[in-house]
Chain A
């Protein structure tokens, strides 16, 4: 059954069961333009959600109405008219192409440079794949393997139906629905996302990737992800992919919540390569993401690793709340801005428990007219005895029209805590370029080599296959930035 037909069927079955005195045509693919209570109800109804979740969405919507778009960041963009977009459309499968010949040659050339295998290229570009390479069956095999050890890995909507207790227990406990303008908006109208639960004592036998999650298409705009690592468990989760992603929706506001209980660890890696807009700054995704993890248990650990190369605007601060004693938070970030891209990114490390440790490594690269800001908060609470933080923020400038900014906030309320902050700003020197070129590298490869060296500490934190692609991606993102 094609997803289209499937969706319509599901919707039909919903309409019979739920009646919210609601007038929008439930058969249509789209909810009408704009945002109001009815739209929120519409989304919830279509998703067959329980009453408590609808109420949560409505509470969020009411809170959001009273909020104002934040203006404290270094990013500038024209005012968004929230009443001028669609907040729900049924996940449509993209029009399937017959062969790679029908794909934009520019996109193919990027795939080529990234070294993406041919079959994979077809999948990414939306070409109908033959039965030999069937991603659905791959996903099913993985799912079976995970189920054997009791791991739950499914779409958020699926989890609402199959594991409502877990969702109810944890949703919104790390990012409250009143948290911030974009998170609150997400809480009201989130479309779908991922749900992961790792049971006590289980070490997830593979890297979990959205790639293996079915129904992953068209959920990018208001994604909601919730990952719970129960006691003594471990999971590594990969989000995104290095291939360039286009989306008709300009505004993205995702939420990711992570929770680790005693001795558990979550490693969350992201490669974000949404469409950055053209050289003149036209188009491009606005990416306003709220990501936060809570180390609830003692000796637990959460590490964020991100490579941010896409989007016209990146506004994102993956954070850790270190509640459990001896818990550890890490943030490793590479952010590239080229042309007219803007990034305001960093982290918050909130130390609450004793002997909590955090490390922040941020590498910002600005080229073209790109503006790159690191914004970070390290807070040592009154009970964070012997809390430790080490922060290193390095900025690299390419050319003389870009900018790098570092805005660290440090709040220490415990005398035994130690906080270190190091920052550097450097340029790719003409001598470095000439040295590489004298050895036979062209300008682009020379920049790519130097930038990869600059980011090495962060890239080594990425899972192997991801790291190789990410290295190539850095070079591609900076194409045309020199010479």
Chain B
């Protein structure tokens, strides 16, 4: 479903990604690990189309379409979801309103019928239950004044509501206590099926105990230097990046 070919990306004339190659097949969970500054978040942002990144070379093929020519909203509507490392506060916009507006926007793109208030609420309640999200929280302005854990939970709720084909989780585990971590993992596992894939960006092996990856990649200096199965993450935990890279 996703094929990244020889991707080179600069930020303010600085080379960040220097020839990334990665292929994710339907139903697979990939973990992307790597030291600080290796380009993990850059890759996530470039995939989702954020401004400020200069693509020097390479292709990003998503279901046979070259994503580089797509606006961020169209990538989202095509089924690419990014769970943000730092979810953004939008004062005055309630979670319910935000979720409904975005869901209907995606549905419209897919030429599906937009959901009315009643049907949307039904769906939302069902989904919120999966990750034990308090309804009061969804009624508040989205992410505004949320704790770190609440923000991440809210990201996962959006993910399971939008049902993307590929979800990128950018350090969703950072700042989570063990219970929240399990709930988040539960959300991901609940959504997992043979057609849906995940790219999980993390610093720690801990999350991978709950979301078991099919493949683990290590990104260093803008390149994937090593790939393996879940054992690579365990090995990394023991030896550290210096011992492996």
Spell out A's residues near B (CB within 8 Å). 429-432, 434-443, 445, 449-450, 452-457
Contact = CB atoms under 8 A, between A and B. Distances in A.
A432 B77 contact: no
15 contacts: A432-B90, A434-B50, A438-B50, A439-B102, A439-B105, A440-B73, A445-B101, A450-B90, A452-B92, A452-B93, A453-B141, A454-B91, A456-B92, A456-B93, A457-B92
B201 interface: no
B82 interface: yes
Give 4 closest A-B pairs by Cβ, nearest first.
A453-B92, A453-B93, A439-B102, A456-B92
A307 B117 CA distance: 26
A435 B84 contact: yes
Contact of B105 (A435, A445, A453, A455): A445
A450 B93 contact: yes
Interface of B: 48-51, 71-73, 75-77, 81-82, 84, 87-88, 90-93, 97-98, 101-103, 105-106, 109, 141, 158, 162
Contacts of B82: 438
A449 B98 contact: yes
A442 B48 CA distance: 14
A437 B76 contact: yes
Contacts of B88: 429, 431-432, 434-435
Contacts of A454: 91-92
Nearest to B84: A435
A361 B110 CA distance: 40
Contacts of A438: 48-50, 72-73, 75-76, 81-82, 84
Of A430, A453, A455, most buried by chain B (CB within 10 Å of CB) is A453
Given A432-B88, A450-B93, A440 B141 contact: no
In the complex, which of the residues B72, B76, B77 has the most CB atoms of chain A within 10 Å of its own CB atom?
Answer: B72
A436 B102 contact: yes
B93 A434 contact: no
Contacts of B98: 439, 449
A56 B217 CA distance: 85
Most buried by A among B81, B102, B158: B102
B231 to A, nearest CB: 33
B72 A455 contact: no
A441 B102 contact: yes
Contacts of A431: 88
Candidate in B50, B75, B90 with the most chain A CB atoms within 10 angstroms:
B90
Contacts of B105: 439-442, 445
A430 B213 CA distance: 33
Nearest to A431: B88
Contacts of A445: 101, 105
A453 B76 contact: no
Contacts of B77: 440
Contacts of B81: 438
Nearest to A446: B73
- Between A439, A449, A455, the greatest number of chain B beta carbons within 10 A of the residue's beta carbon is seen for A439
A442 B104 CA distance: 12
Given A439-B162, A450-B90, A452-B93, 16 more contacts: A431-B88, A432-B88, A437-B71, A438-B73, A438-B75, A438-B81, A438-B84, A439-B105, A440-B76, A440-B102, A449-B93, A449-B97, A453-B91, A453-B92, A454-B91, A455-B92
Contacts of B102: 436, 439-441
Given A449-B98, A453-B141, A441 B92 contact: no
Nearest to B161: A439
Nearest to B103: A440
Contacts of A435: 84, 87-88, 90
A288 to B, nearest CB: 31
A383 to B, nearest CB: 38
Contacts of B72: 434, 437-438
B175 to A, nearest CB: 18
Nearest to A435: B88
A440 B109 CA distance: 9
A439 B158 contact: yes
Contacts of B75: 438
A432 B72 CA distance: 13
A441 B73 contact: yes
B155 to A, nearest CB: 10
A459 to B, nearest CB: 9
Nearest to B107: A440
A450 B142 CA distance: 11
Contacts of B141: 453
Contacts of B93: 449-450, 452-453, 456
A436 B162 CA distance: 13
Contact of B76 (A429, A430, A439): A439
Contacts of A441: 73, 101-102, 105
A426 B91 CA distance: 11
Nearest to B109: A440
